C-alpha cells in the first residue's frame, strides 16, 4: 500500500510522471510484443526512445540535486558560539524571539532585562533547552524573579 500511496502522491504533485509513462509504455509494448502485435523493426526504435526519455528524466533529477546543493548552508554560519554585534538591536526590534541552547546560563544573565522587557511589551519569547533540568536553570530560577521554582 505504501508504494501505491507514493504513486498517488507523485501523480497529484506532478512529479515523476514521465517515469510512470515510460514504465507503462514499456509494459504495454512488452505484452504486445509477446503476442506478436508489434513489428520487430519498431521495437528497436521504441526502445531507443524509451532510453532517451529515461536519460532526460535523470538529467532533470541531477539538476534538482545540484540546485539543492547550492541552497545548502554552512552550519558554522547558522549556529554561532557568540552573538553577532547587532544582536541586541534585533532582540529589541523583534516581535518573536527564539533562543536555542544547552543551558542558556550566560544568555539568561546577559539578556534578562531585554527579554523581560520584550515579554512585558507583549512579544513572544520561545526558549528551547537541551538540558532544561540543569544547574544553570536552577540558578536562574533563584535570581529573584517572581517565581522561585525552575518552571
- Tell me the per-residue pLDDT of 69-124, one tens digit each, with 9 for 90 and over: 776 666 566 666 777 788 778 878 888 888 887 777 777 777 888 888 888 888 88
- For residues 63 and 11, membership in a common domain is answered with yes
- List beta partners, residue 9: none
**Residue that is last in its domain, among 44, 71, 98:** 71
Alpha carbons 98 and 127: distance in angstroms, whole number:
6
DSSP at 98: E
DSSP H/E element including 128:
strand 124-129
Question: Could you give the number of structural domains in the chain?
Answer: 2
Residue 26 counted as domain residue: yes
- For residues 6 and 67, membership in a common domain is answered with yes
Residue 14 counted as domain residue: yes
Which of 4-18, 27-41, 52-66, 136-150 is predicted with the least confidence, judged by mean pLDDT? 136-150
Per-residue model confidence (pLDDT) at position 34: 85
Q: Which domain holds residue 24?
A: 2-71
- For residues 39 and 83, membership in a common domain is answered with no
**Residue that is last in its domain, among 71, 94, 113:** 71
- For residues 67 and 86, membership in a common domain is answered with no
**Which residues lie closer than 8 Å to 11 by C-beta, 6 or more apart?**
17, 20
**Residue that is last in its domain, among 17, 43, 71:** 71
Residue 81 counted as domain residue: yes
Residue 85 counted as domain residue: yes
- For residues 94 and 133, membership in a common domain is answered with yes
Amino acid at each position: 500500500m505504501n508504494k501505491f500511496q507514493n504513486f498517488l502522491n507523485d501523480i497529484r504533485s506532478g512529479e515523476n510522471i514521465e517515469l510512470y509513462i515510460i514504465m507503462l509504455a514499456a509494459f504495454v509494448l512488452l505484452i504486445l510484443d509477446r503476442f506478436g502485435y508489434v513489428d520487430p523493426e519498431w521495437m528497436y526504435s521504441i526502445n531507443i526512445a524509451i532510453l532517451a526519455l529515461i536519460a532526460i528524466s535523470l538529467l532533470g533529477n541531477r539538476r534538482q540535486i545540484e540546485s539543492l546543493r547550492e541552497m545548502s548552508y554552512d552550519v558554522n554560519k547558522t549556529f554561532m558560539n557568540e552573538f553577532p554585534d547587532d544582536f541586541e538591536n534585533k532582540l529589541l526590534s523583534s516581535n518573536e524571539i527564539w533562543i536555542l541552547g544547552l543551558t542558556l546560563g550566560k544568555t539568561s544573565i546577559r539578556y534578562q532585562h531585554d527579554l523581560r522587557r520584550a515579554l512585558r511589551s507583549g512579544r513572544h519569547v520561545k526558549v528551547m533547552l537541551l538540558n532544561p533540568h540543569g544547574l544553570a536553570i536552577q540558578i536562574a530560577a533563584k535570581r529573584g524573579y517572581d517565581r522561585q521554582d525552575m518552571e
